[in-house]
Amino acid sequence: MKKKENVFWLPIGLLGVLLLPLIFIGGVVLGPSFQAQLELTADSISSWVAALATVAIAVLTFILAMETWRLRAAQIEQIEELRREALRPNVEFYLLPAPASFQFINVHIENNGKGAAKNIKFDIKPDAIGENEKNERQLIAQLLSLNMLYNGIVSLGSGKERRSFVFSFIEYAEKMGDAVFNIKVSVAISYEDVEGREYKSESLIDFSEFKGISEIGGGDPNHNIYKEIEKIRRVLEGSQTTMTSKRMNINIYSSEDRDAEREAMRRHFESTDD
């Protein structure tokens, strides 16, 4: 509100400064003529009209210049804001189950902003004070065992991601029981854009969100394909154990070979019948 009032009073103040010398000059020029005669002639009226028109044109020109200046300043500010948004990073921190198994938890650090993030730092703190604080500090120690969380990340490009396995949820559940679902930790993230502007964000890790979650379908399809290919590889390797060489012997038959084989068999049967 204060900024708008300043913008409103600025042209009025400048207009007053502009009119003061005009009024002073007009008084100096027209003062003696009023003393000499009080009656208005046709020439004096036209002079007054011309003077007023000149002043009006000057005032309108000044107002137009002020509005043009304001629009230009707003345009420059808007362009600068668009440029900053084009460089603005947005770093997120979250946990997700690993494709290998639902019980294994991976930590994900993702930059889904438009610009690269630099000097990314993490400040992980327990959310509770009391009995559950011990379990939360155990999770924090597990997270900080990753160097990228302990020392931070130097640079992370737009759309890029860092991830790593951190713990097994079943292992935590065996140690802590149902108390594992009461774990909450807050992660404060600080980072900079390529021009050094600082940004901050915060993520809350709440283990109660994992309560009651189940999985069907045998897990991630890509990982299942990998396991099946691995089985095929082991079968092929097993078939080579009786061979002196690791090379596989493959017999290749063409359509001509098959035709020749059928013809030979036909002749054999015909000779047997005779």
DSSP string, 185-233: EEEEEEEE-TT--EEEEEEEEEGGGGTT----SSS-HHHHHHHHHHHHH
Predicted local confidence at residue 49, as pLDDT: 65
Predicted local confidence at residue 28, as pLDDT: 47
Predicted local confidence at residue 108, as pLDDT: 94
At position 264, the amino acid (one-letter code) is A
Give the position of tokens 């590889």. Answer: 233
Q: Is pLDDT at 41 greater than 80 in this prediction?
A: no
pTM of the model: 0.60
20-24, 57-61, 114-118, 251-255: lowest mean pLDDT where? 20-24
C-beta neighbour count of 238 within 10 angstroms: 9
Q: What pLDDT band is residue 91 in, cutting at 50, 70 and 90?
A: very high
CA 192 vs CA 81, 89, 107, 200: distances in Å: 16, 8, 21, 9
* H/E stretch holding 155: strand 153-156
Residue range 212-269, pLDDT digits in tens:
777 666 666 666 676 777 777 777 666 655 555 556 666 676 778 777 888 888 777 7
At position 7, the amino acid (one-letter code) is V
What is the C-alpha to C-alpha distance for residues 190 and 203, in angstroms, rounded to an integer?
11
Q: Where are the alpha helices (DSSP H) in the chain?
A: 2-36, 42-87, 133-144, 147-150, 169-176, 221-238, 255-273
- Stretch 122-135: mean pLDDT, rounded? 81
